[in-house]
Chains A and B, each alone.
Chain A
Amino acid sequence: MKYADEFRDKEIALGLSKAIRAEAAPQRSYRFMEFCGGHTHAISRYGLEDMLPKNVRMIHGPGCPVCVLPAGRIDMAIRLAMRPDIILCVYGDLMRVPGSQGASLLKAKARGADIRMVYSTIDALGIAEENPAREVVFFAIGFETTTPPTAVMIRLAEKKQLSNFSVFCNHVLTPPAMQNILESPDIRNIGRVEIDGFVGPAHVSTIIGTAPYEFFAEEFGKPVVISGFEPLDMMQAILMLVRQVNEHRHEVENQYSRAVTRDGNLRAKEEVSDIFELRDQFEWRGLGQVPYSGLKLKLGYARYDAEVRFKMNELRVDDNPACECGAILRGVKKPVDCKLFGTVCTPETPMGSCMVSSEGACAAHWTYGRFRDHQQRRAS
């Protein structure tokens, strides 16, 4: 496949693997967090772990918007979707995300809720135009990458004077979550978070640019390398992180320079800031309340805000107390350290955020990597 296979070349990968082995100091360990689910998926799908030396360990971060959506927000969406006047438009991977007591949008659909799976925001607008007598709500989720399309959709709805269209906004922001991983008060209960550097987001950074990470790298003294989602991108980014650590640097470096600039996509950022504003805090499954990490529609666009329009009450649901997602997301524990992993919590019946989508740390390990646990057990 043109323009993809070039970034999956085995020979170049082996070269990078050799370089990492040669440059990683054997007497120390390197723990790098890849923030994005897309990176987690690439690591698992291409078997990157096998190409890294034992002392370079990847910690899978919370960067999967489906995974971190809290159960309460799913419950809110289900409650809304059960109203007979509502058509709820969602991305397919949200359908199985667990709400409270085993509820999900998939089950709500089976019970009669009119929930439509869409592949783009434009599809949702089309449904609103085709159903003028119904209220069409788009379940908006995602990081900085998916927020501009939601903004464009609201603009279009305005232009088309659609009065039956609104958005249930669950857009979240990357930098506050990265910060939360290192400094949230919960950390006292979890243990020491030891992360030597971050593989920074790919698609998110095409929008926000590399500049927002500069404060983070400076403040916390952690190197950040923005990396593309292809496996060779990842290998190169890991090598760049190893070098920064070895040289005691903590800078923001851009491996993904074919798509990311320092300032990002100005037009997209402008659209977003015209329509959205920060929430004081937003709940993340696995991380809890994270200050200034979520977006909502500005007052001027309240008519497109489903939470206002349908007077939706905020619902809060506690995560399962045995779930170790908070510790796993910070790299303090591994999926196998959780009592729920692979027993009651599997990709078919996910309990915690890390199991919800294939980009979560636990689901990726379960789906692609669990044979390594047995190999290790056999070896020991």
Chain B
Amino acid sequence: MKAYQRKLDIRNGCVDLSHGSGGRAMARLISGLFHEAFGNEWLARGNDQSAFDVPAGRMVMTTDGYVVSPLFFPGGNIGSLAVHGTVNDIAMAGARPLYLSASFIIEEGFRFSDLKAIAESMGEAARAAGVHIITGDTKVVERGKADGLFISTAGVGVVPDGLDLSAEKARVGDRVLISGTLGDHGVAIMSKRQNLAFETEIVSDSASLHDLVAKMVAAGGKGIRLMRDPTRGGLAATLNEVAQQSDLGFGLQEESIPVKPGVAAACELLGLDPLHVANEGKLVAVVAPEVADTVLAAMRAHPLGRDAADIGEAVADDHHFVQMATTFGGGRIVDWLSGEQLPRIC
């Protein structure tokens, strides 16, 4: 006789320690909530791991942790963010993302309804990106030991033949392209922080960039030297990192850098520099000058690259400075952010 399985009370229930103990409760949580949201043939088999065929060629692998606070923010939640972030790390190699893993560390007392909403938006983001979440893990910790929910992911993807994006490929005279406005994600998160709440229409830019990347690769081929997604530390951190790795400097034009007026205003109010504020759906590409216009046109033709801009160039500089001509007419350095601007932004 089949044992009676009580369904999860999604509307009123919450996670308790039994949901992480390996017993029936955990099985119910996994099948009733995660499998439902992620729905795919690999999870359905219920193995401790998932097997998949490996395509010929080069693969990339990445891992990432998500601790964002608050868990729900304008433009997304920790679930969609986890998929977008992992997909983007794969995409920055010019790769096509294939499979993800997701591991959940849940605090006792976390509401099923919130968990379901998060899992569903993960599933949705994965389907939209054409990737599958094929393996996962669930742990429950006592109240106060995790702030609601942490998610950690891994992802694999496959790189098109002959493509090898890397910082050391950048050359003097290369152009710096960004895919759109800066600082949207950071400002959206800040606007919802408990002791910081302010009203803004800015929503997070959290999005999967692999399709935009594919179009850029098709347009620029090997003329694309490297791509990065400027997340924590913003564009400033990303370009300083690339300058060090490529043994070059950068010269930027402030007036070419797109920033939404709402983001600029919030930064002004909070004393922040939009170039230091996190993005979750933007990329910066360093490309050979001869393909710059073609790649830029391809970016602008894509919905995620409508506001793409050429913001400067790579220059010879032993000190690896990222310099910028300000809109005002002077010059300055765009340095790394020192200290912590805002913890737990992603």
Chain A interface residues toward B at CB < 8 A: 1-2, 4, 8, 10, 13-14, 17, 44-51, 95-96, 116-119, 123, 231, 346-348, 358, 366-371, 374
Contact = CB atoms under 8 A, between A and B. Distances in A.
B57 interface: no
B261 interface: yes
Contacts of A8: 327-328
Chain A binding surface, main DSSP class: helix
Given A367-B338, A374-B319, A46 B268 contact: no
A371 B321 contact: yes
A14 B333 contact: no
Contacts, number: 74
A117 B195 CA distance: 8
A130 to B, nearest CB: 12
Contact of B335 (A49, A368, A374): A368
Interface residues of B, number: 22
Interface in B305-346: 319, 321, 323, 325-333, 335, 338-339
Contacts of B330: 46-51
A96 B337 CA distance: 14
Contact of B329 (A2, A51, A96, A366): A51
Given A10-B329, A96-B339, A347-B338, 5 more contacts: A1-B265, A47-B326, A51-B329, A368-B333, A369-B332
Most buried by A among B195, B264, B319, B335: B195
B196 interface: yes
B329 A14 contact: yes
Chain B binding surface, main DSSP class: loop
A1 B321 contact: no
16 contacts: A4-B265, A8-B327, A13-B329, A17-B329, A45-B273, A46-B326, A47-B330, A117-B195, A119-B196, A231-B328, A346-B338, A348-B338, A368-B332, A370-B321, A370-B333, A371-B323
Contacts of B335: 366-368
Interface string B266-292: 001000010000000000000000000
Interface of B: 195-196, 261, 264-265, 268, 273, 319, 321, 323, 325-333, 335, 338-339
Contacts of B329: 10, 13-14, 17, 46-47, 50-51
Contacts of B273: 45
Contacts of B331: 47, 50, 371
B332 to A, nearest CB: 4
Nearest to A120: B195
Nearest to A127: B195
Contacts of A14: 329
A117 B190 CA distance: 14
A346 B321 CA distance: 16
Contacts of A13: 328-329
Contacts of A123: 195
Nearest to A347: B338
A320 B339 CA distance: 22
A116 B194 CA distance: 12
Nearest to B318: A374
B71 to A, nearest CB: 20
Contact of A10 (B319, B323, B328, B339): B328
A266 to B, nearest CB: 27
Most buried by A among B261, B321, B330: B330
A12 to B, nearest CB: 10
Contacts of B328: 8, 10, 13, 46-48, 51, 231
A246 B321 CA distance: 38
Contacts of A45: 273, 326, 332
